[in-house]
Chain A
Amino acid sequence: MGSILIVAEVQNGSIREASYELASFAQKLGREVHSLVIGSGVAGEAEAFAKKGGGTVHLVDAEAAANYNVDVYAAAIKAAVAATSPDAVLISNTPTGWDVAPRIAAAQDCGFVSDAFDVAEEGGSLVFKRRVFNGKLDAQITASGPVVATMQPGGTAPFEGTTDGSVSALEADLSGAKSAFVEVKVAEAKGVDLSKAEIIVSGGRGVGEPEKFPEVIQPLADALGGAMGASRPVVDAGWLPHEYQVGSSGQIVTPKLYIAAGISGAIQHLVGMKGSNFVIAINKDPDAPIFEVADVGVVADLFEVVPALTEAVSAAKG
């Protein structure tokens, strides 16, 4: 039985929680675990990871790796693969993971599975589960041989135990990059700060037209004394500015009440609002994934329910 290589991800000087989730997956599979830690000045983080599920940690500590660069990371991961000959390489499905992980699969001419939320062993093969069709269906996928897989952050709990691990330096030729990191621009201060809103009424693709946001969604938000939000397709279509976007690439919100109107519930949206205390979903499609995370669901036309609700809320407030 071959080993597993975890590619840990350093963010702002620390190994991120998603990497400890990879350790959970790897330890669960009961195989020999190796990890790659790549960064600059991260020896302490590598030691910590070795003791907490990371197994044998191979450390690439270099100035060239101070910031993420696809060519540098790919070179380091290839060196770690050559040193450990793993059956599976696990990488988190983050902006780093989806940029570099497929390169490793192509370089190794092996299988590739992305954004899996579960992995198990069946008859010597690794079997993954992941969502397809934007969350409307699940797929079970078997890798017939060595595989590179990216795992969905939050797919399992971070590893909490203590393990005997060691750290050793790994030689990797990081020269020859054909791309260069320039800078990270942090998100600008938002004109609309949804992170502090107690009540949010969000509209999705089902709202259908940009004019319907001020006509239908905003009035309910106003009546409740809350703020208006939106899902990604609304912002992509240019109906509302990015500052209204709730989701993994927009704002992460934790209101007391979240009303989702015409939002199907793609994963990236759910990540942004699953911390809401109470969720009301209104959608015509009874199979919309949003109903799985909602406390209360209404399968109906939002254009009937939302204006009537706005009126009733206004009346109740007197």
Chain B
Amino acid sequence: MKILVCLKQVPHQDARLDIDAAGTWIKEDNIKFEINSYDTYALEEALRIKDAGEAEVVVTSIGPDRVTQALRTALGMGADRAVHVKDAEIDGSDALGVAKVLAAVAKEESPDLVLMGLMSDDSNASAVGPMIAELMGVPNASSVMKVELADGKVTCERELEGGALEVVELQTPCVLAVQSGLNQVRYASLKGIMAAKKKPIDVKGAGDIGLSGQVGAGAAKTTIDKIYPPPKGEGAELIEGSTGEVVEKLVGKIKELGLL
């Protein structure tokens, strides 16, 4: 069993979001990055499958040098090796460009399972998983809350609205985009971090995976024109003052509602 986990490194959830000079993304210098939270659940699920039997867990990520840190963290948690796709030519890719890169890595690795998060914490697109499946010609499931392997098949529970779950059976290989909360994600142990230093990170460019000239800003079919703070509506009536004053006003509001 071989599992490929696709990780995205994203701005830390508490990072300051200042819009860049072009107005099309945030300023990424001087902020902290972390592994996309949804992807950590995918990695954890892969490591649990490995812990329960025989599996090789390969992690892959696209991005500049800083991505090495995310891959090292994943190796520290227990992944066996990493593929870092690093090439300025890929910058500015849209979701389909990213999916083409990851599908090319998957074709080279021939995994039984490709796992990733349902979406990323920065672009919130939920695009790449099913796209990789289409490019590979394999089935996929999104919003996965449970994974069971038996007899060369994968049985998943997909989260629907209102807490309902859809059970679906997939042939392998397949692509699973997992929902947050399907497991409790481990931390890298000190021993794991030390061991990770000896684990290989293979660095590849677009040409190495046969995609030179096919990805990047020039090939993108959608363009971000601008990003901006959401227009403010009327918003809340802000209550200010000392804690005592604030509480007094809140109690007044609750009394007005007839609830006190």
Contacts and interface: CB of A to CB of B under 8 A. Distances in A.
Interface of A: 68-71, 74, 93-95, 98-107, 109-115, 127, 130-145, 147, 177-188, 198-199, 224, 232-233, 235-238, 242, 248-252, 256-257, 277-281, 287, 289, 291-292, 294-300, 304-305, 308-309, 311-313, 316-317
Contact of A309 (B118, B121, B247): B247
Contact of B133 (A103, A137, A180, A185): A103
A195 to B, nearest CB: 10
Contact of A95 (B121, B134, B159, B236): B159
Interface string B117-140: 010011111111111111100111
Contact of B180 (A112, A236, A248, A311): A236
B255 A316 contact: yes
Contacts of B60: none
A184 B165 contact: yes
Interface residues of A: mostly helix, strand, loop or mixed? mixed
Contact of A68 (B134, B143, B166, B255): B166
A12 B63 CA distance: 43
Contacts of A136: 17, 230
B233 A186 contact: no
A297 B237 contact: yes
B222 A140 contact: no
Given A111-B94, A249-B162, A252-B162, A127 B225 contact: yes
B161 interface: yes
B171 interface: yes
Given A224-B254, A317-B260, A297 B239 contact: yes
Given A139-B226, A279-B236, A296-B238, 16 more contacts: A71-B139, A101-B130, A103-B130, A109-B96, A133-B26, A137-B229, A140-B228, A179-B171, A179-B174, A183-B166, A233-B180, A291-B235, A296-B237, A309-B250, A312-B247, A316-B251
Contacts of B19: 137
Task: Give me the 9 closest cross-chain CB pairs, A-B, nearest first.
Answer: A297-B236, A187-B163, A236-B181, A111-B221, A106-B134, A179-B139, A294-B236, A182-B167, A102-B130
Contacts, number: 273
A69 to B, nearest CB: 8
Contacts of B130: 70, 98-103, 106
**B interface bracket (residues with beta carbon within 8 Å of A):** 35 or more
Most buried by A among B121, B230, B235: B230
8 contacts: A70-B139, A110-B221, A142-B222, A144-B223, A179-B168, A249-B161, A251-B162, A289-B230
Given A95-B160, A112-B127, A252-B162, A313 B228 contact: no
Contacts of B155: 182
A300 B246 contact: yes
Contacts of B236: 279, 281, 291-292, 294-297
A115 B95 CA distance: 14
B164 interface: yes
Contacts of B142: 95, 98-99
Interface in B139-176: 139-143, 155, 157-171, 174
Interface string B1-33: 000000000010100010100000010000000
B173 to A, nearest CB: 9
Contacts of B240: 299
Given A147-B222, A252-B162, A292-B232, A114 B125 contact: yes
Most buried by A among B19, B163, B164, B257: B163
B227 interface: yes
Contacts of B168: 69-70, 179-182
B229 A292 contact: no
A309 B251 CA distance: 7
B65 interface: no
A78 to B, nearest CB: 10
A127 B230 CA distance: 16
B124 A224 contact: no
Given A68-B166, A298-B250, A103 B131 contact: yes
B244 interface: yes
B248 interface: yes
Most buried by A among B168, B233, B239: B168
B227 A139 contact: yes
Given A257-B254, A298-B239, A134 B121 contact: yes
A254 to B, nearest CB: 14
A192 B255 CA distance: 26
Contacts of B243: 300, 304-305, 308
Given A99-B140, A102-B130, A248 B161 contact: yes
Contact of B166 (A100, A184, A187): A184
A155 B94 CA distance: 23
Contact of A292 (B125, B132, B221, B233): B233
Given A224-B254, A257-B259, A308-B243, A115 B124 contact: yes
B190 to A, nearest CB: 23
Nearest to B125: A114
Given A127-B225, A142-B222, A184-B167, A102 B127 contact: yes
Contacts of A137: 17, 19, 26, 227-230
